[in-house]
Amino acid sequence: MVRRRVRRSSILHRLPALAVCVACLAARADPPPAPAPGLAAAVAPYAGVARRLIEAARQEPSAWTRLAELTDTFGHRLSGSESLEAALRWAAGEMKKDGLDNVRLEPVTVPRWVRGRESAALVAPVRHELAMLGLGNSVGTPPEGIEAELVIVRDFDELQRLGPAGVKGRIVLFDVPFTTYGETVVYRSTGASRAARLGAIAMLLRSVGPIGLRTPHTGALRYADDAPKIPAASIAVEDAQRLRRLRERGLTLRVRLRMQARFEADALSANLVGEIVGREAPHEIVLVGGHLDSWDVGTGAMDDGGGCVMTWQALRLVRRLGLRPRRTLRVVLFTNEENGLRGALAYRDRHAAELSDHVAALESDSGAFPPLGFGFSGVDAARTVIRDAARLLEPIGATRIGESGGGADVSPLAAAASVPTLSLDVDGARYFIYHHTQADTIERLSAEDLASGSAAVAVMAYVLADLPQRLPRRSAP
Ligand SMILES: [Zn+2]
């Protein structure tokens, strides 16, 4: 995902306070399309609805409140954990209370990776406990741990230059400075197998993120079939830099790693689905959603509790205003995005027969920060519609349309049936400081930003679900 460093405070909370209750908003008739100068003819009739959804989002504090309840009550929600299943049951009950239609849990079998106890320490020439987190899907060490000389490399090229002679029997640390997530994360996902091919017995990784407060970042690794599976963990940026400085003074470093990480038997989980059934074409679907599972650190408030709550809130706002679009609005809270994607694949398979009627799929999984607009992947004719619809979001500044959009959970729909996909794009300047760390808690997020994001999703999804014409798409592959 492309991340841009754009600073913008939320405009929504600076709008003048309007002493209007949500029920009053619902009762008010849409103004005629005329007072929307400059809007494309197709979206002009939605100017009034968009304004009412934005006002309702601002007055309805429940997105932040609901996210706080989710994260305080259930904590983190790793696949296979009881907390994820309890959170799913709670969210299903709340969706029913919201008056959404057809609320159901669609079963998905998910992997159960368990971290267990873990530690890493520099043991020579000085003792120093490293701030570490095992990487998701990693194997563990023997109970007594692994102790070996540490080899530090900047990138894969340096690793290859060392070759087996420099790596065999040692622990490799990838000390790779963070540039973008896309560029740097490849060391997390493939570094262990690359080091293992040269004979390394464990892998450490400088956390994938900018410098934080000595916070290690977890995340998934992927073992290659042709390499031994070695234990892998990330360490705080500060610890990686200290190890490098010690090494550059000519010292030989020894590190001990202990990890109980393991897979247990697969567990039963679910995708949670709720709808507002369309009034004219109920079989045509505009999907919005995020993933309810998280890593087992922090409380998954940002990744991706916020995305779940905002997309869910979008339907709630539509319902609160008494609106029923032409097509069906469907919110899906996916399971197992972080370490398996089995929720997304199960959704694709279960709904295979109706994918050609998925008009668009919008995922929010970039943090609940001030919305800037949407990423979009689809044909040019559809992009024009999306761009026009986003202009309705000028009051909250979410009008930008990025070159590509979607997300891990909706990408299988695009691949299988050319479903046009969108992502809610936000000011991501702070996202990777907290991503997959103990610091991913609700304190990172504001009620104003959650309200703005909910409004942005509500307006875009409602317009796509209600336009007389379906969003254009290329024919299925
Ligand atoms: Zn996520």
Residue with the two structure tokens 């007594």? 144
Q: Which secondary structure element, helix H or strand E, spans residue 150, and what is its range?
A: strand 146-153
Long-range contacts of 11-18 (CB under 8 A, 24+ apart): 11/395, 11/396, 11/397, 11/452, 12/54, 12/57, 12/58, 12/395, 12/396, 12/448, 12/451, 12/452, 12/455, 13/58, 13/448, 13/451, 15/58, 15/395, 18/55, 18/58, 18/59
How remote is the CA of residue 301 from the centroid of ligand 1, in Å?
Answer: 10
CA of 469 to the centre of ligand 1 (A): 32
Say what the pLDDT of residue 26 is.
39
- Residue of 400, 403, 406 lying closest to 387 (CA atoms): 400
Give the amino acid at 170: R
- The pLDDT value given to residue 477: 62
Contact 56, 48 (CB under 8 A): no
Query: How many Å lie between the centroid of ligand 1 and the Cα of residue 338?
Result: 7
Q: How far is the CA of 305 from the centre of ligand 1 (A)?
A: 9
Q: Among 275, 337, 363, 448, which one carries the catalytic annotation?
A: 337
Amino acid at 188: R
Ligand 1 centroid, distance to 365 Cα (angstroms): 5
pLDDT at 263: 98
C-alpha of residue 300 to centroid of ligand 1, in Å = 9
Asked whether the beta carbons of 430 and 210 are under 8 A apart, the reply is no
Tokens standing for 330? Answer: 């469907």
**How buried is residue 124: exposed, middle or buried, by Cβ count under 10 Å (0-12/13-18/19+)?**
middle
- Give the integer Cα–Cα distance in Å for 368 and 428: 9
- The answer to whether residues 290 and 16 touch, using CB atoms and an 8 Å cutoff, is no
Residue 352: its pLDDT value, please? 98
Peptide bond into 304 cis (omega under 30): yes
The 254-259 sheet, strands edge to edge: 128-130, 118-124, 254-259, 146-153, 171-174, 202-206, 232-235, 132-134
Q: How far is the CA of 186 from the centre of ligand 1 (A)?
A: 17
Mean pLDDT per 10-residue interval, the chain, length 477 residues = 37 34 40 54 95 95 93 98 98 98 98 98 98 98 98 98 98 97 97 98 97 96 98 98 98 98 98 98 98 98 98 97 98 98 98 98 97 98 97 97 97 98 96 97 97 98 97 82
Whole-structure pTM value: 0.91
Q: Cα–Cα distance between 447 and 300 in angstroms, integer?
A: 16
194 CA from centroid of ligand 1 (Å):
25
Contact 259, 134 (CB under 8 A): yes
Phi, psi values for residue 198, rounded to 5°? -95, 5
Alpha helix segments (H runs only) across 145-208: 156-167, 181-197
Q: How far is the CA of 166 from the centre of ligand 1 (A)?
A: 37
Compute the distance from residue 248 Cα to the ligand 1 centre, in Å: 37
The whole-number pLDDT of residue 3 equals 39
pLDDT at 472: 94
Q: Looking at residue 61, what is its pLDDT?
A: 72
Q: How many Å apart are CA 152 and CA 158, to the nearest integer?
A: 9
Task: Write down the number of H helices and E strands in the chain.
Answer: 13, 16
Task: Kindly write down the DSSP assignment for every residue of 323-370, as one continuous string.
Answer: ---SEEEEEEEES-TTTT-HHHHHHHHHTGGGGGGEEEEEE--S-SS-
Q: Which residue has the tokens 């705080």?
A: 236
Would you put residue 140 in left (φ > 0), alpha (ψ -120 to 50) or beta?
A: beta
d(CA 97, CA 87): 15
Q: What pLDDT shows up at residue 474? A: 86
Active site residue 248: no
Q: How far is CA 122 from the centre of its chain?
A: 33
Q: Rg for the chain (alpha carbons), in Å?
A: 24
Q: With contact defined as beta carbons under 8 Å apart, do 164 and 132 qualify?
A: no
**Taking a C-beta distance cutoff of 8 angstroms, is the pair 301, 445 a contact?**
yes
Q: What are phi and psi of 258, to 5 degrees?
A: -125, 125
Distance 367 CA to ligand 1 centre (A): 8
Q: How many Å apart are CA 359 and CA 287, to the nearest integer?
A: 8
